[in-house]
A and B are shown apart, each in its own frame.
Chain A
Amino acid sequence: MSIKKSLKVLLAGTSALASSMSFAAEEVNVYSYRQPFLIEPMMKEFTAETGVKVNILFAKKGLIERIKREGKLSTADLMLTSDFSRLTMFTEEGLAQPVDSDILNKNIPSQFHGAEKQWYALTSRARNIYSSVERVGPAPTITYQDLATPAFKGKVCMRSGKHPYNVSLLASIIAHEGEAKAKTWLEGLKANLARKPQGNDRAQVKAVKEGLCDYALTNSYYLGKMLNDPKQVAWAESVHINFPNQATTGTHVNVSGIALTKYAPNKNNAIKLMEFLSGDVAQQMYAEINYEYPVKEDVQPSKLVASWGKFKADDIKLSDIAAQHQAAIKLLDEVKFDL
């Protein structure tokens, strides 16, 4: 047997082995920047309804790079993110493909998808300022800009400026007011911090409860999550939730979202899952279990979230904020925000 021939046999064998390993069942593969336990209930419901198995691979960093390297061989069908900067990064890298579906068009309002429908938002959440019940009381007129004024010195707690939620907030301020003003704001905010940025959003509320600071910059849904945790309910009860900038630009809103990958091998199932996640059942679950705001207009937020009242959201285009993402990261370095 010639070398060439035996090589061919070997390759054929490899090929047969690989195809025998591949799966018979219907499935869809999701790369997720969101923790599995947050999305599992919806995925289980989807599998129960359709029989399609959902495989989730979670990581906080590097999934976009992985999919980029895997190229046309990637087995990932969907990219699920917890903020839109990753969604836009994903589409800008040319890793997504547009989805035109009547169901998605009907369920998701146009401000919640990419210009060419390469991504769709599934939920939205506000970036709130929580204030101490004991030392401040409700602060309905508070603004993000207030946090940088001398009156707030030593009273503010927040997580790392580099966290996507904070980067997006800063990017929105750059988009509204320009880089120079945003820098002054960021410097003022840094000067007012009660401690170096650290911990997650819940940890900031905990610090308010313990009297370390009076204000915490935190996403909306954490209050719901904490109220449902016997260990954390006391933290949650020590704060008021305020929606900043009601008289001005409106409260900054971020989204979690989903995009179909360019080479999705299970494209039909992937679109089915996207449609399911935008539908009544899943949107209701996002609202009730995770306390996020549903993007589907006729699905109501949970009772608890509704009790916080309606608010004016910043209506700037998400793509305008995303355009300032890199500028925001660089600004954070310039003022050494986390250091």
Chain B
Amino acid sequence: MISKSFNLYKLLPWVVTCILLSPVLAIFLSAFSVDESGSFQHLIDTVLSTYISNSLLVIVYVVLLSILFALPCAWFVACCEFPTREKLQWMLMLPLAMPPYIIAIVYTDLLDFAGPVQLTIRALFDWQPSDYYFPEVRTLFGASIILALSLFPYLYLLLRGAFLTQSAGLFQAARTLGVTPLRAFWRVSIPLSRSAMAVGISLIAMETLGDFATVNYFAVHTLTTAIYDTWLELGSLTTAAKISSLMLLAIVILISLESYSRRKQQVYQRNGSGNTELRFVLTGWQKWGVLAFTWSLLAFSLFIPITTLLYYAINYFNASLNNDLMQYTLNSLWLAFLVAILSILVALLVNFYQRLSPGLGAKSSIRLSSLGYAVPGTVVAIGVLIPLTSIDLWLNDLLLGLDLKPVGLLLSGSLVILVLGYLVRFSAIAVGSIDSNLVQVSPSLDLASRTLGNGPVKTLWRVNIPLIRKGMLTAFILVFIESMKELPAALLLRPFNFETLATYVYQFVSDEMIELAALPALMIIGLGLVPFIVVNRLLEKKT
């Protein structure tokens, strides 16, 4: 009996991992079929090196900018005391609700040569186009800034959590020894937050690598451009799959290196109460500096885009009001909710598998189940289509063989495929945020519980899950918001007569009609913000 239930623990995570991995595998396998078009060689001969260096540069810039934005913010909010700190600590998460393709369209509209900012400059000083220098918006660096503005909260969220839960004793020791805030930051906070930093950076790097909409909008051509070109224009799925596989390989190597370098480091939280009593109280120029930094970051990532969208939404209200908008909203909402719940289940499953039977197998199941995150949405979409349409075709043949009525595209023509596509892409977020929370729970707690006669499941339920409640709520919000914003997979996988807010916005964004995109875009943002604020209030009350 014991051995039977034990097998189930082992089996279930692998079944889930296999389901999530099947689309990625399908792509990977296509990479090995013979390519007669010669388009891979063509790419190598022409643009591939530029695409690779662009991809690398965008990732490096986005990661560096995100650290620059998130690290100070997280530390100020967690370890310092200054006015508006309590507001800031949750508001700094809100930019996550902003889809990067919306921020992109807003800033190009504002800062473009023919946009209001440059028009005003020219009118004010009576300048001609050649009389002044204004940085180009549509550049690689511009795209990186936009991506960082909407992605930095990932890192902020993880770092703040890490800073808050770091052992108060260590911090107290540092304070007792009379270190300055800066020194405490470098010597205590940073080393202890390495796991959160690593998870955050890899999430951001993967999201950046998979992005197409934003870089494409900024006329920056990366590896995702190569995938789309070879696959959709040159008709070579093989070449596209080769490039995707190379990207995947890069991600796998990166993640393994990171976890290898961290293999001996074990940091457990013993006291979750945080270091609230020990915050550095900021005064004078320090206070003003921190206020200026944090609030202007919020202005650029949140207030300016929202204000611009509001302006357009109000001015074009009648033109953009649509009877079906309510339906699209509901569609987006319940889809996002369902995916968020499912991905938490996936994350719990693979994470606890690792906790119960640590080892290479469990570790691989965690890594493998997260691979889909780094793959561009459209590629995931086709990756999901391959196994599901095969099952559908097989099922229909089977039914016909049994003289039953065929069911058509039961899986691939319904929302099943969309939900699976989202899960493939976003489980990584849930897995990551629960993982980074769970590693901080000392195994001695598990041992204590087991010694007291509780089985592994009861231990998980009674001891671990309550301790990672925060991680689970964070995972829920993050996946919920990502699903609200998700575009490429939804566009390609949705069934007839099913629009989400994002796919509805896209038909206007794709034609750069910001005025008509504004109202539904605001709804995406607004609906992303609500659960954020609610859950956050709940969390703040409990701690």
Contact = CB atoms under 8 A, between A and B. Distances in A.
B221 A210 contact: no
Contacts of A65: 231-232, 237, 382, 385
A19 B237 CA distance: 34
B382 A62 contact: yes
| CB-CB nearest 5 A-B residue pairs | A198-B219, A18-B407, A333-B46, A210-B114, A55-B496
A35 interface: yes
Contacts of A207: 113-114
B328 interface: no
Interface string B77-118: 000000000000000000000000000000000001110000
Contacts of A18: 405, 407-408, 410
Interface string A188-227: 0000000111111011001101111000000000000000
Interface stretch (B177-185, B267-275, B396-404, B441-449): B396-404
Contact of B497 (A55, A63, A210): A55
Contact of A60 (B46, B382, B493, B510): B510
A81 interface: no
Interface residues of A, number: 61
Contacts of A22: 408
B512 A73 contact: no
B229 A71 contact: no
B228 interface: yes
B43 A71 contact: no
B389 to A, nearest CB: 4
A134 B289 CA distance: 48
B232 A69 contact: no
Given A60-B510, A333-B46, A66 B385 contact: yes
Given A60-B510, A207-B114, A326-B234, A75 B399 contact: no
Interface of B: 42-43, 46-47, 50, 112-114, 119, 128-129, 136, 138, 218-219, 221, 228-229, 231-235, 237, 378, 381-382, 385-386, 389, 392-393, 396, 398-399, 402, 404-410, 412-413, 488, 491-497, 503, 507-508, 510-512, 515
Contacts of B221: 338-339
B42 A69 contact: no
A310 interface: no
Given A62-B382, A326-B234, A15 B405 contact: yes
Given A73-B396, A198-B219, A62 B50 contact: no
A57 interface: yes
Among B113, B229, B410, max chain A CB count under 10 A is at B113
A58 interface: yes
Given A198-B219, A329-B229, A73 B492 contact: no
B389 A69 contact: yes
A61 interface: yes
Given A15-B399, A333-B46, A339-B50, A202 B512 contact: yes
A327 to B, nearest CB: 10
B382 A11 contact: no
Contacts of B406: 15, 73
28 contacts: A8-B404, A11-B402, A11-B404, A14-B399, A15-B399, A17-B407, A58-B491, A59-B492, A65-B232, A69-B382, A69-B389, A70-B389, A70-B413, A73-B406, A75-B409, A162-B233, A196-B219, A198-B138, A211-B128, A211-B129, A212-B113, A231-B515, A330-B42, A333-B43, A333-B46, A333-B229, A339-B47, A339-B50
Given A15-B407, A61-B492, A334-B46, A35 B232 contact: no
A58 B138 CA distance: 27
Contact of A71 (B114, B389, B495): B389
A3 B362 CA distance: 33
A336 B46 contact: yes
B399 A197 contact: no
A265 to B, nearest CB: 9
A74 B494 CA distance: 13
Given A69-B389, A162-B229, 15 more contacts: A15-B399, A16-B405, A18-B410, A58-B503, A60-B510, A61-B378, A62-B491, A63-B492, A65-B231, A70-B389, A73-B393, A198-B138, A207-B114, A326-B235, A329-B233
A103 interface: no
- Give the secondary structure class of A's interface: helix
Nearest to A196: B219
Given A8-B402, A61-B378, A210-B129, A71 B393 contact: yes
Interface in A4-34: 8, 11-12, 14-19, 22, 29
Contacts of A8: 402, 404
Interface in A28-63: 29, 35-37, 55-63
A16 B404 CA distance: 9
Nearest to B406: A15
A58 B508 CA distance: 12
A36 B497 CA distance: 12
A160 interface: yes
A89 interface: yes
Contact of A59 (B128, B402, B491, B512): B491
A15 B404 contact: yes
A234 B363 CA distance: 61
A200 B511 contact: yes
A103 B235 CA distance: 34
A14 B404 CA distance: 10
A162 B495 CA distance: 28
B511 A35 contact: yes
A310 B428 CA distance: 58
Contacts of B382: 62, 65-66, 69
A152 B65 CA distance: 39
Contacts of A16: 405
A200 to B, nearest CB: 5
A246 B410 CA distance: 54
Given A35-B511, A62-B382, A329-B234, A74 B138 contact: no
Given A74-B409, A198-B219, A62 B492 contact: yes
B46 A11 contact: no
Given A62-B232, A202-B512, A333-B46, A73 B413 contact: yes
